[in-house]
Amino acid sequence: MNYFAPVRDMEFVINELAGLAGIAALPGFEEATPDLVNAVLEEAGKFSSEVLAPLNKTGDREGSRLVDGKVVVPTGFTEAYEQFVECGWLGLGKDVDFGGQGLPHLVVTAVEEMWNASNLSFSLCPLLTSGAVAALQRHASDDLKATYVEKMVNGHWAGTMNLTEPQAGSDLAAIRTEAVPEGDHYRLRGQKIFITWGDQEMTENVIHLVLARLPDAPAGVRGISLFLVPKYMVEEDGGIGARNDIFVVSLEHKLGVHASPTCTIALGDTEGAVGYLIGEAHSGLACMFTMMNAARLGTGLQGVAIADRAYQQAVAYAKERVQGSSPGTEGRVTIIHHADVRRMLMLMRSQTEAMRAVAYVTAALLDQAGHSPDKQQRQASQQRVDLMTPIAKAWCTEVAQEVTTLGVQVHGGMGFIEDTGSAQHYRDGRITTIYEGTTGIQAGDLVGRKILRDEGQGMRSLLDDIRAFEDSMPDGDDRLAVLRRELKSGREALGEVTEWLLESAKTDENAAGSVSVNLLMLMGTVIGGWQMARAATLATGKLDSGAADSSFYETKLTTARFYAEQIMPRVRAYRDAVTAGSENIMALSEQQF
């Protein structure tokens, strides 16, 4: 089965909801013509289906291994990576000055959804390289950029993100890796853990971005600096030089993404690993945030992708598996005839569509933030991206947990058996709420930095936009009534919890932490509902004007209405949980647990 061809929904979301035409009209995106975008999606669909997808299950079974200090990737991965590089896929959205193709984030987002859906483990490698390129372009010296960026953009060298240490996970203030100045460079010593694609032999070089402390660094996050540490030193002429003192010492055995090597890395066990400062001393976390923000949106997209893959697989199974009988159908039926199986498939489908819309609309905002000729528009778009980033990351990945677990459930006992692949999506998807900042950390970012810090200003502007959309919905159209009603109710609940938080945080120091995840889930659900209401409104317009492809628009109207009826009521439960406050969350003493 071809799971990864650019599905109709992706085209709809890119063009109609995220407004590709408007994005393509921004300066710098002249290349993004509809024909080119369609051709890119078509080719990406083929590459995902034909090259990456067949390696997903075998990669899971084989896993990556450490043999004589070298990371050995599963069969076929090296050849697939070579093809990936030959096709220039890594450069799709990168700066043309560094050999990229300069296409909008919006287009890259759709392409990356396909990589992720077809083979999440493989996709993590280019995803991290992309994040490292973004950080280098923004913060590195011209010399570093000239030496490293182009080879990363063309995929010959890969990038990694080295933050985590045994005592420093969510709390990066606890980082201990040391960097001591030596001439024009630094010597780094320390240990990093859980480093995704921390090494491999598919690329000629691996460029690690490493957080470490200088000897005079102040304590805490203000004392962290960012360094570029190459696996192999780079000669004056750009060629590969001596091996640097940075080595993988072990790989983790883990629940999912088995093909992606998760490495423990030793820096400087002998002479010290040579590293180069990126940006200013002690401002490493800010530099790394460029990489982390890109990776957070990328991780949210992994949630969308794995959910869609789980859905497509569940539908295929539900159409084949014969079991029981159902009202109005003669004899034994395939399980898709059962109302409860329909319920599960609709939960999977409608939420995946809502997540896709949220992720792509955020990508379009990112394009506006970077390319709009109007400064105010750039700032407003960036403010909205900042507000949306924890939603795109944490809400999409949390919902993906529900969708992938339903995928297992649709398969019954076979879902629990590895052969169907359904269990792999469930296992692979499980990491997405953990890395790049757990859901709790994203929710803390949302309430602390994005709501309390500007006293709710960004949120109120979002609420105004939702309200303006509600007012623009055609009056008296019965097909849209439930969407309108639920969106209004959801927007009001979001406004209510925002004001509750702003008020409660003044007197209760546990308020923000206690309610943050429920608030985040409420917000994600409402924004998903907003996008589904937009989609449904567009669909009714298309149907009324007799557009071709009426089946797609009828389906969209139904999935949107289902979302309004079956998902939006969750907003009320989240609201009640938020406004119940922290009292009983915090009431037990530590001993009482």
Tell me which residues are annotated as active site: 436
> Which position's Cβ is nearest ligand FAD?
169
User: Given the complex with ligand FAD, which of 126 and 444 has the nearer CB atom?
Assistant: 444
Q: Which stretch binds ligand FAD (CB under 6 A): 114-122, 162-170, 214-222, 393-401?
A: 162-170
Nearest to 471 by CA among 412, 518, 533: 533
Q: Which stretch binds ligand FAD (CB under 6 A): 155-163, 178-186, 395-403, 521-529?
A: 155-163
Q: What would the x/- binding string for ligand FAD be over residues 105 to 144, using CB under 6 A?
A: ----------------------------------------
The residues in 444-463 that bind ligand FAD, with binding defined as CB under 6 A, are 444
The answer to whether 252 touches 194, Cβ cutoff 8 Å, is: yes
Answer yes or no whether residue 196 interacts with ligand FAD by CB under 6 A. yes
CB of 254 to ligand FAD, least distance (A): 6
Q: Work out which of 46, 57, 138, 254 binds ligand FAD, going by CB under 6 A.
A: 254
Cα R_g (the chain), whole angstroms: 24
Answer yes or no whether residue 194 interacts with ligand FAD by CB under 6 A. yes
Neighbouring C-beta atoms of residue 496, cutoff 10 Å: 14
**CA distances in angstroms from 427 to 345, 359, 415, 416, 458, listed in the order given:** 19, 22, 12, 11, 36
Distance in angstroms (rounded) separating the CA atoms of residues 266 and 4: 38
Coil, strand or helix at 167: coil
Q: Which stretch binds ligand FAD (CB under 6 A): 30-38, 349-357, 433-441, 527-535?
A: 433-441
CA 553 to chain centre: 27
User: Given the complex with ligand FAD, which of 262 and 397 has the nearer CB atom?
Assistant: 262
Answer yes or no whether residue 163 interacts with ligand FAD by CB under 6 A. yes
Distance in angstroms (rounded) separating the CA atoms of residues 129 and 399: 26
The answer to whether 420 touches 410, Cβ cutoff 8 Å, is: no
User: Given the complex with ligand FAD, which of 135 and 341 has the nearer CB atom?
Assistant: 135
Answer yes or no whether residue 441 interacts with ligand FAD by CB under 6 A. yes
Element (H, E) at 457: helix 457-472
Answer yes or no whether residue 586 interacts with ligand FAD by CB under 6 A. no
Answer yes or no whether residue 434 interacts with ligand FAD by CB under 6 A. yes
CB of 437 to ligand FAD, least distance (A): 6
State the number of binding residues for ligand FAD (CB under 6 A). Answer: 19
Q: Which stretch binds ligand FAD (CB under 6 A): 8-16, 151-159, 311-319, 437-445?
A: 437-445
Distance in angstroms (rounded) separating the CA atoms of residues 529 and 569: 11
**What DSSP state is assigned to residue 165?**
B
Nearest to 322 by CA among 311, 308, 333: 333
Cα Dmax for the chain: 82
User: Given the complex with ligand FAD, which of 406 and 512 has the nearer CB atom?
Assistant: 512
DSSP states of 185-228: EEEEEEEEEEEET---SSSSEEEEEEEEE-TTPPSSGGGEEEEE
Answer yes or no whether residue 431 interacts with ligand FAD by CB under 6 A. yes
Nearest to 215 by CA among 260, 181, 242: 181
Applying CB under 6 A, the residues found at the interface with ligand FAD are 161-164, 169-170, 194-196, 254, 262, 431, 434-435, 437-438, 440-441, 444
